[in-house]
Each structure stands twice: as structure tokens, then as C-alpha cells.
Amino acid sequence: MNMIRKHIRQMAKMALLLSPLVFAACGSKKNLVTENNIGNNTVNTTNTGSSTTPSEAKVSNSTYLAKVINNASTQNAMVANIDFNLKSGKKDITVDGKLSMKRGEVVRIQLTPMGLMEVGRLEFTKDSVLIMDRIHKQYLKSSYDQVSFLKNNGIDFNALQALFWNQLFLPGEKSLGEKQLDAFKVEGTNISYQKGKMDYLWKTDKEVEQLISALATYTGTSSGKSSIGWDYSDFKTFGGKPFPAYQLITLDTNARGSQKVINVGLKLKSMKADSDWDTVTKVSGKYKPVKLEDVINQILKIQ
């Protein structure tokens, strides 16, 4: 029983420590038409050229982008049981949990060791990020614009939502219209975008025309270099389209003088298009708020 309690306390602490991972991420005639919601982008894939002139090559690239976008899931909601794994240094912890998502509203991860009780919650909404440690009754809640890295580089709810949904996104934009698609560069199976000190790279599978990884790299002058990678695998049919049942998130940073690598693996099980659940988490007055800076300092001490 003591070992179980120790394991639960460790996972509660890990839930609270997850926030920096997010904040580090956490962007001729053309025949392209998009909808307004980035979560449900659909584009016309018609290509009326067969030569290799620069103009028609550009249309061909846009057509490939359109196909990648169209092949992403269009479900409005998902609930899945998950195996949540966190690795950093000598630590390697796996715990049961649940992933719940509603487009345009929320992405939520709940940690429930052995399915007994919820010890931690990580929640992204349109306006804020919420991290709860239910064992120690602590929480962190912050708006996206309070984190300079996110604000300056366009990493907001739309971008984070796209990463979880295995979709292409353009930092700072809510939709992918004709002009937005022109911002991307397509080379073979790679899609890239550069903005300020941020470089974005998506890799695709040419055969199925689908995203298999995303990488955002920030290169600062005095703050060093950091990156967040998102790898997708084990695709299973969900809502009639392939969806990655395994997602690996990797944070790599030397921003504070020493190299730190953190891996978070999400293995999705029993994916369901369930939308019958509450998207709002109310924090009890019994919970104590903690500062973002304190959480960042804690995670950098993990070995």
C-alpha cells in the first residue's frame, strides 16, 4: 500500500510538472477553398496542370498540402483511455489516464493510476491552460498571452489543438486559407514554415498523404535553443479516417545552460467520438495556486 501511495504522489507531481512542456511548444490560378475552422479544414484538391513550370509546381505543392489537410480527422470530439508515459533522465513512469478533446473548446488529459482516482489534470481551453495536482490540492492557471514565448511565436490553443489532432497549422492563424497555404514550403514529403526565431517542420507519409511528425524549434540569442517534437504512429481508423493511436512528445532544451530532454508518450485505447461530457473544469477554493516560474524550476531539476 505504501508503494501505491508513493506512486500516486509521484504521478501527481508529474502532472503539475507537465506545464513547461506545453509552454515550450507550446504553427498562377489556384484551386483552393477552405472553411473557417482550422479543426475542420477541407480544401479542393483539383490540380489542372501537368508540366513542371514554377507556376504549376506551386499549384502541385498546394494540391499536396490540400490532400494532407483533407486526410486529417474531421471528428468534432474524442474520448480515449490512455497509457501515459513520462521519461526524463533516470525517471520512467507510466500511468493510466484519459484524453478528452472537443474541437474549438478543450483538450484535456487526466491521470488516474490503476484507474483508481484522478491525481492530475492538464487542460487546454481557448483562453487558458490549467494544470491540477489533486493530491496536494495545487493548481496553475495561465492565459496564453501571459507566456511570452507562446505569445510572440503564435503558439496558442489553435496550434496545440492541431498537434493533438494530427493536423497542419499556421502559427497565429485560426484557419488555413489560400493566402495562408502560400506561407508553407513543400519539399518532397516535408512541409516547413519559418517565422522570426521559430522554425516549423512537418514530415508526411507520401503514400497516405498524412502527417507523421511535427517539429518546432526556437533559436534565441541569449536564451539558447529549444525544440518540441510530436511524432505520430500506430494509425487506426477513427471516424472513417486514420488517426495516430500513439503520440510521442519530445522536449529538448538547453535554455538554462544544461541539456534537458523530456519525453511524454500517449498510447490511445478505445477511441470514441463521444461529446457527452462537460468541457469546463471548476477549481475548488480549497486548491492553492502556484506560479509558472516555480513549476519550470521544478521540472528542470528532474533527473
Residue 71: other Cβ atoms inside 10 A: 18
Q: Looking at residue 120, which CATH number applies to its domain?
A: 2.50.20.10
For the stretch 280-297, pLDDT in tens is 899 999 999 987 666 555
DSSP string, 164-213: HTT----TT-SS--HHHHTT-EEETTEEEEEETTEEEEEEEETTTTEEEE
Q: What is the pLDDT of residues 94-153, one digit of tens each?
A: 989 999 999 999 999 999 887 778 888 899 999 888 888 888 888 888 887 776 545 555
Q: Report pLDDT for 260.
A: 79
pLDDT of 174 reads 79
The predicted pLDDT at position 9 comes to: 55
**Single-letter code of the amino acid located at 36:** N
* 271: helix, strand or coil: strand
Say how far apart CA 24 and CA 216 lie, in whole Å: 9
Residue 20: domain span: 2-299
| 14 close to 20: Cβ distance less than 8 angstroms | no
Per-block mean pLDDT, blocks of 10 residues, the chain (303 long): 52 50 35 39 50 56 88 94 90 91 96 84 90 85 69 72 94 77 92 91 94 90 77 96 96 72 93 94 90 58 47
pLDDT of res. 22: 39
Residue in the block written with cell 514554377: 54
Domain count, the chain: 1
Residues whose CB is less than 8 angstroms from the CB of residue 196 and which lie 6 or more positions away in sequence, other chains included: 152, 153
The pairing of strands 288-289 and 138-143 is parallel
